[in-house]
Structures are given as structure tokens and as C-alpha cells.
Amino acid sequence: MLGVVMHAPGDVRVEEREDPKIQYPTDAVIRVAAACICGSDLWPYRGADDVHDAPMGHEYVGVVEEVGDEVRNVKPGDFVVGSFFASDNTCEICRAGYQSRCVHAEPMGALGTQAQRARVPLADGTLVATPGMPDADLVPSLLAASDVLGTGWFGAVAAEAGPGKTVAVVGDGAVGLHAVLAAKQLGAERIVIFSRHADRQRLAAEFGATDVIAERGDEGVAKLKDLTGGLGAHSVVEAVGTQESMMQAIRATRPGGHVGYVGVAHDVALPGGELFFSGVHLHGGPAPVRRFLPELIQLIWDRTIDPGKVFDRTLPLADAAEGYRAMDERRAIKVLLTV
């Protein structure tokens, strides 16, 4: 089969890879219908993470082709959505809603879903079947649920977005934009996006943002305080993962407020004294997307939300290298790969 391999930073190729097979009785093999390129794939692409000949991709939707003997919840022919971590969904950590830290968690990124087929471990716990075969126009949104929507949603939940709250979002990539969408669905009163890109500002407004702040860092924080009686936001979602964005998120939050951080932290060190006196709640990490999948699939199926709008470029799998380039150069917010 064909699949994407990153041989080194900047060196992405679509090439022949071995067809996945059932290895454990809890596995499924799916025929990928669509995959995509994640903001986090840009870390190794830009050399910030080590990478050598790695199969790429951890977001996926597709049709089940084959299941192992112990799989009960999905069957060949089902259209399924899964998270970027395989999880058993039965251990104590999963039951508490932290499936991305399941005691048996396996990162799908190691298997590589930017490919024609993929093996999904722990299929019963990992995959959620849609109510039927989706219309083609729903596929991008279902794919978004697999990671960026689920991650933005978790950021908003971790930040305790809700009625009466002012929610601010640091980061206007796909995850940040979906955090806006989530905050809106969760009933937030006011939603502020930090962004200086007109196309992203427009999409944020479509998703429910009420205010835009173009300034970054402490200047951005000062603008947000102007909007909130000097106090800061109740809830701030951090969706970048740098030192600057984390500090901006913490400083933008009022004492007792909540920071939900979902940007994969790179070279971040939080100063203990400032954090202590900030009095904020801090929660985040790799999103337990599986927790939210049934609800998100239903919202998409009912056409209540349209998260697939973040895909502003669609390419065939064979052109994945151009997809990486477009995202790296910010010519695209998020690239969908048809398979």
C-alpha cells in the first residue's frame, strides 16, 4: 500500500509500505477514507523533534476491513472514527475519562494513518462507528473529530468554558479554532480569539468568536484585561505549546480561572512563583479525544457543527509532501488527504 514516510526534517515522501495485518485478536484493520496533516507533524518537519524514516499520521476515518477474534463493537463495513491514541476504554484511567493515558495506550502516530490502510489496536475501545455511511460532505468533519476538534474541545472543557464565562483562545490554528467552536457549543458568553490572520479571524467568527485581539504576549494580555474589567478571562485555551503562548495564557486568566492547554509543550518551563501567585487552574495534555467522540459524531451527524471547515486544502495522498509544505509555510490552516 501507499503511505507517507518522513525520512528526515523536511523530507516527506509517499511510498510503498507493507500492508497492515491483524496482529492481536483485539486489532482491526481499516481502509482509510481520509487522513490529514496535524500541526504537531510540523514539529519533526521543522526539526524540533527527532525523526528518521517515520511513517506519519495519527488522524483517520475509514471503513473497517477486518477485525480480530475478540473485537465485538465494530465489524467489517462500519465507517469508524478513532482517536490518535488507541485505548482499551475499560481501565480505571479510561473510565475516569483520560483514554489518551489508558494503561494500555498506543500512539497511532507510530502506525502511520497517512496511508491507504491502518492497523488499529484495541479496536473495541478505540473506534466509534458512525450511525451509517456518511454523506461525503460529512467526512471532513468526522475526520476533524479524530484529533483537532477533539483536542480543541478538550481544551475548552479543561478551561471550564461554559455559560456566563469569557473564554479566550491563544492560537488560531485548527485546534484553537475548534476550541472557539467548542466554547460556543458549551455556552460561553464571550469568546475572544488571539489572531492576526484575516482568514483565521473569519473562520473564528463563523465558529462563534465575539472578539479578536491581534496583539500577542503581554500586549495581548493587556488588551484582554481591557475587555474584562481588568480581571482577565474566566477560561483560556492554550493551543500552541511555546513558552510565550503558555505565559500569555496564564497571564490572561483571572485568579481562580482555568487554563486548558493542549498545544504540545516544546521547551517550556513554567516559573513556579508566578504560577503560584496567579491562582489559576492548569489542566491539559494529550486530549482524551475518545471521551468526546460519541457526542462529537452526533453533533456532526445532526449537522449542528461543521468543524470540517478548517480544512482549507484537499490533496490526494500522493501529494502529501505539498500538503506539509503548505502548512509549514502557513499557506493552509489544515490539509485533508483523500485516500
Q: Which residues contact 197 (CB under 8 A, 6 or more apart)?
A: 172, 330
To which residue does cell 510565550 refer?
A: 244
Give the contact letters, 97-136, x = binds to a copy of itself (CB under 8 A), - = no.
xx-xx-x---------------------------------
* x/- map, 236-265, a copy of itself, by CB under 8 A: -----x-x--x-------xxx----x--xx
Query: Using CA atoms, how far apart are residues 123 and 8, in angstroms rounded to an integer?
Result: 31
Asked if 148 and 38 touch (Cβ cutoff 8 Å), the reply is yes
- Report the chain's terminal Cα–Cα distance, integer Å: 11
Q: Is 121 helix (H, G, I), strand (E, B) or coil?
A: coil
d(CA 296, CA 303): 11
Options 266, 303, 330, 331; binder of a copy of itself; rule CB under 8 A: 266
Q: What secondary structure does DSSP assign to 38-55, as a single string?
A: -GGGHHHHTTSS--SSEE
Q: Figure out which of the listed residues 217, 271, 294, 316 binds a copy of itself, where binding follows CB under 8 A.
A: 271
Shortest Cβ 176–a copy of itself spacing (Å): 16
List the x/- string, 27-66, binding to a copy of itself by CB under 8 A.
Answer: ----------------------------------------
Contact 236, 260 (CB under 8 A): yes
Instruction: State yes or no: residue 231 binds a copy of itself (CB under 8 A).
Output: yes
Least separation in angstroms between CB 149 and a copy of itself: 19
**Of the residues 1, 48, 227, 268, which one makes contact with a copy of itself according to CB under 8 A:** 268
The single residue among 96, 110, 133, 318 that binds a copy of itself, judged by CB under 8 A, is 96
Work out how close the CB of 243 gets to a copy of itself at its nearest, in angstroms, rounded to a whole number: 8
Q: How many CA atoms lie within 13 A of 129 on its CB side?
A: 16
- Count other Cβ atoms within 10 Å, centred on residue 70: 11
Q: For binding to a copy of itself (CB under 8 A), which residues are involved?
A: 92-93, 96-98, 100-101, 103, 229-231, 241, 243, 246, 254-256, 261, 264-273, 275-286, 288
